[in-house]
Chain A
Amino acid sequence: MDAFLTVDTLLPMLVGLPLLAAILTTLLKSYGLRTSISIAVALIQLVIVVALLSWLSNSGPSLDTQHQRYSLGGWGAPLGIDLTIDGFSALMLALTATLTLVLTIYSGYYFSEPHSQLDKTARFWPLWWLLIMGINGLFLSGDIFNIYVTLEIIGLAAVALVALDGSRAALTAALRYLLVGLLGSLCYLLAVALLYRTYGTLDLAQLSAIAEPTAITWAALALITTGLLLKTALVPLHFWLPLAHGSAPAPVSAILSALVVKTTLYLLARFWLDALEPAATDYGLLMLGMLGAAAIFWGSIQALRAKRLKLMVAYSTVAQLGYLFLLFPLFLSTGDTRDAGLSGSAVSAVAYFIVAHACAKAAMFLAAGNIMRTVGHDEIDQLPGLAKYMPLSLFTFAIAGASLIGLPPSAGFISKWLLLNVAIDTGQWWWVVIILSGGLMAAMYVFRVLNIAFISVDEKVQTEPKSSINEQLTVNKLPTLMPLCAFLLAILTIILGFNAELILDLVTIGGDV
């Protein structure tokens, strides 16, 4: 058994399995078969990741870097492509596998309804699995050109998924998303060209060993940052996100907001804190932090003003992404953490924040999808009294909202508390003000929705919207598993809140690759 549980068998399977699922779901014609295969593959993927995690935690912090690598086809770096794993990427893989399973089950029901045409579901599953393959591949890649390829796989699959709805608004959002994505990856590719010319290697680990603070490295880092910030949608490069995430089908919005924008953030952390660390100037780190602060305010204000529920959740993603960029300046002033590479306390805080936000935001998008499915629209003002008809979905929304605000005992509370801790430890009190006021603004937009949904029906007894909800509800009865999937994710944020140690320990394993 021990011989089986090694990186040599597990790492390639994480990329190969979703690819196999993509091929099978393309070939098979029966809807039921496609769905059952997808759920089976999602389950196997979770088992593989759990095996990988147990192997990693058994190896402990003393993990030998040689055993974190798998060379594809037996060709090692610098010529071949290496798959690598450490605590940070293992955590991201675990998050991906968990969300994939829940969202796959949800999608099985979401696309099975009679009013979604069958050809739409035929296109959904292959694209879905290509997206998962890209995400897994990105977290496993130890090679900057391979990362470019996975970025493009993720980008193209995500665009096709956004366009799945086929409406003009969805297609326009998809086209804009595609152009932004292509621009971002071209900037990244130019940086890859510069780095390879200068250092003669594409391997991340080798690069971090030989990178020097020269003008070329600096230019490459600037290009990588521009390209990836476009894809991560940090203010002011966020303009494409609300429409793309707001127009996509609910499970797609969920994975885009929960995982896809985090993949590029993960890469930014790798490049700034590890691979190209010598070129990461204090001003650059500070600038990323300030953009993050701007994102918190701008995203929250737009979320408050949004008329549609899904658009509000999408703007909330813009705001929450801002928190993640506070990582960079927090990293700056502590000389100790700077040496610790990717195992410092600021990185743990952000890794935990990514997981917390991913679960909460996926739960929120699924709840919004349930509401949209049942009521037929998601205009916030038209939802009074909804809580009476959809208690579970609203409860899910409330728990996820509590996590976004940062109320205990949710994971959102722990993640904000961790960020605050690092900010105070490093003596940068001004970030504390931003983190706290961001939480306050999140409370405002979450309670705005809950307030309307919980208006008691007596007050509005004669109003039009209520009766229309009532009629719609009998027509569009949701399969019970759909609200349950959303609820499961919301509960997960609470469970994570109680088990923060597990995650924080994991991040530190093999951190300095």
Chain B
Amino acid sequence: MTQELLYNIASIGLFGIGLYGLIVAPHIVRKILAINIMSMGVFMLLVASASNVNGTPDPVLHAMVLTGIVVAIAGTAMALFLAGKIHTLGQASDKDDH
């Protein structure tokens, strides 16, 4: 029981830290990291919910976490690409200004 509670509190905590970072962090890479911390919180809750003391863990939740990780990777990759492209374009337009 205490172990389960620990996981629950930790995952909600991670979600909260990530949310705070997403709103407060000024830099885009920090925002992307914050989103990832939030998703870790959700995944941890899913994995912790799958545990079953008396029997086999729930495979549905494991499948959900796997899908979630794939989505998180795709989203992060896309965000990093866009951020990089914006950065490059910004540098190019800065040079034009000078």
Q: Report A's interface with B, CB cutoff 8 A.
A: 79, 145, 149, 152, 155-156, 159-160, 163, 168, 171-172, 174-175, 178-179, 182-183, 185-186, 189-190, 192-193, 196-197, 202
Contacts and interface: CB of A to CB of B under 8 A. Distances in A.
B86 A182 contact: no
Given A175-B82, A189-B68, A196-B61, 11 more contacts: A149-B71, A152-B71, A159-B82, A168-B86, A171-B86, A175-B79, A179-B32, A186-B35, A186-B42, A192-B64, A193-B49
Interface string B38-70: 110110011001000000000011001001100
Contacts of B35: 179, 182-183, 186
Top 9 A-B pairs ranked by shortest CB distance?
A: A175-B82, A168-B89, A197-B49, A152-B71, A171-B86, A182-B75, A193-B45, A190-B42, A193-B46
A197 B61 CA distance: 9
Contact of A193 (B42, B82, B83, B93): B42
Nearest to B68: A189
B89 A171 contact: yes
B68 A171 contact: no
Contacts of A196: 49, 60-61, 64
Contacts of A193: 42, 45-46, 49, 61, 64
B74 interface: yes
Interface residues of B, number: 31
- What's the dominant secondary structure at chain A's contact region? helix
B39 A186 contact: yes
Nearest to A201: B60
A156 B90 CA distance: 23
Given A190-B15, A193-B46, A196-B49, A175 B38 contact: no
Contact of B78 (A145, A149, A156): A156
A149 B67 contact: yes
Nearest to B44: A193
Contact of B28 (A145, A175, A186): A175
Contact of B85 (A149, A171, A186): A171
Contacts of B93: 168
Contacts of B83: 175
8 contacts: A149-B71, A159-B78, A159-B82, A168-B86, A168-B89, A171-B82, A175-B86, A190-B15
A156 B74 contact: yes
Contacts of B75: 152, 155-156, 178, 182
Nearest to B32: A179
Nearest to B31: A179
Contacts of A159: 78, 82
A152 B72 CA distance: 10
A149 B69 CA distance: 12
A197 B4 CA distance: 12
A364 to B, nearest CB: 28
A178 B79 contact: yes
A99 to B, nearest CB: 25
A202 B39 CA distance: 19
Nearest to A197: B49
A179 B78 contact: no
A374 to B, nearest CB: 27
